[in-house]
Amino acid sequence: MTTTPHEGRTALVTGGSRGIGRAISRRLAAEGALVAVHYGHDHDAAERTVKEIIADGGRAFAVHAELGVPGDADALWAEFDRQLAAQDAESGLDVLVNNAGITLPRTIANVTEQDYDRLFAINTRAPFFIVQRGLERIRDGGAIVNVSSVTTRFAYPAIIAYTMSKGALDTFTLALAKELGPRGITVNAVAPGFTETEINPTLRNPEIRRNYSAESVFDRLGQPEDIAAVVSFAAGRDAGWTTGQWIDASGGVRI
Ligand SMILES: NC(=O)c1ccc[n+]([C@@H]2O[C@H](COP(=O)([O-])OP(=O)(O)OC[C@H]3O[C@@H](n4cnc5c(N)ncnc54)[C@H](OP(=O)(O)O)[C@@H]3O)[C@@H](O)[C@H]2O)c1
């Protein structure tokens, strides 16, 4: 196996600036890809990630677009095209990672219509239209990875609407894999478990950390790098015979 499985490829990682997306961006770049590090609000975080990649000898650039608002997918691709051209790189891409997402730690009684619409707009609608508008840019033989969640595998009412938004992404993954098979494009979902990022501020509480850690058979929280390794594989040429799959990256939560 080559240590640079993404050599010569271009990748776009949505929400690639922080957390799991940052680790995915760094991993794909370390393995040879030119990486578009997308972000929505935190410009400094995106610039930091790009600088880290370049300092490690990789190639990356930042792409700004707020997701969850009307016209988000078109805005993202317009900015991607512009920034890619500024790199003097060939247009198009090989790998799309739909990673950007938000959570909603509320039970059914406490979810407002506004919460629900915003959650689905970012977690579900945005990836759908990013793929739809990106299809002509993604090269044959490429890969799409949708970042789902282990919480679509069991009942988790504490974040019910969030789990539904990711459940829809799983169904999207399956149908899209069939649609894009003739082009040799793989489509898979990678499902993290409890992972140490800023998405869940309650992880700062030692008792909650212990409880979430105990959910994994390895008795620890996932690190963004744990997830990035699985995404890199799913996006890579070595996984070219695997498509339409939901790949657990939870450290064995509730098995
Ligand atoms: N951490 C976990 O325990 C866990 C578990 C299962 C699944 N996941 C999934 O993994 C993915 C990454 O989560 P994470 O924990 O790494 O989250 P995070 O640390 O909060 O990072 C979220 C990323 O998404 C971007 N983003 C969020 N809302 C956006 C918007 N409206 N428009 C554009 N970009 C936006 C953020 O960029 P800006 O800040 O610049 O907007 C940031 O780069 C999500 O899809 C999440 O659902 C996480």
The pLDDT of residue 44 is 98
Q: Please give the DSSP secondary-structure letter assigned to residue 195.
A: B
Position 3 scores a pLDDT of: 75
Instruction: Measure the CA–CA gap between 157 and 84, rounded to whole angstroms.
Output: 42
Q: How far apart are the first and last CA of the chain?
A: 30
Instruction: Give ∠ CA 143-146-152 in degrees, rounded to 5.
Output: 145
Residues enclosing ligand 1, CB less than 6 A?
Answer: 15, 17-21, 39-42, 66-68, 99-102, 122, 147, 149, 192, 194-195, 197-200
Q: How far is the CA of 102 from the centre of ligand 1 (A)?
A: 5
Question: Would you say residue 3 lies in a domain?
Answer: no
Q: Where are the alpha helices (DSSP H) in the chain?
A: 19-30, 43-55, 72-86, 113-120, 126-134, 160-180, 206-214, 224-235
Assigned domain for 58 exists: yes
d(CA 155, CA 66): 30
Residue range(s) defining the domain that contains residue 177: 10-249
**Where does residue 70 rank: exposed (0-12), middle (13-18), buried (19+ CB within 10 A)?**
exposed
CATH number of the domain encompassing residue 141: 3.40.50.720
99, 13 in Cβ contact below 8 A? yes
The tens place of each residue's pLDDT in the chain, 255 residues long, gives 557 899 999 999 999 999 999 999 999 999 999 999 999 999 999 999 999 999 999 999 999 999 999 999 999 999 999 999 999 999 999 999 999 999 999 999 999 999 999 999 999 999 999 999 999 999 999 999 999 999 999 999 999 999 999 999 999 999 999 999 999 999 999 999 999 999 988 999 999 999 999 999 999 999 999 999 999 999 999 999 999 999 999 999 999
Name the one residue in this structure whose structure tokens are 């600036």.
17
Q: In this structure, what token pair is assigned to residue 250?
A: 């939870």
Q: How many domains does the chain divide into?
A: 1
Residues contacting residue 199 through CB under 8 Å, at least 6 positions apart? 19, 101, 102, 103
C-alpha–C-alpha distance, residues 207 and 168, integer Å: 32
The answer to whether position 232 is within a domain reads yes
What's the chain's average pLDDT? 97
Pocket probe mutation, ligand 1, options 13, 20, 44, 170, max atoms within 8 Å of Cβ: 20
Q: Which of 5, 19, 10, 82 is nearest to 48 (CA)?
A: 19
Q: How far apart are CA 63 and CA 39, in angstroms?
A: 6
Whether 162 is a known active-site residue: answer yes
4, part of any domain: no
pLDDT in tens, 37-78: 999 999 999 999 999 999 999 999 999 999 999 999 999 999
130-145 pLDDT, tens digit each: 999 999 999 999 999 9
Ligand 1 atom nearest the C-alpha of 195 is 3
Provide the β-strand partners of residue 249.
192
Structure tokens that stand for 54 in this block: 């370049």
In a domain, 50, yes or no: yes
Paired tokens of 142? 């490429």
Any domain includes 254: no
The answer as to whether 255 is a domain residue is no
Amino acid residing at 95: V
178 assigned to some structural domain: yes
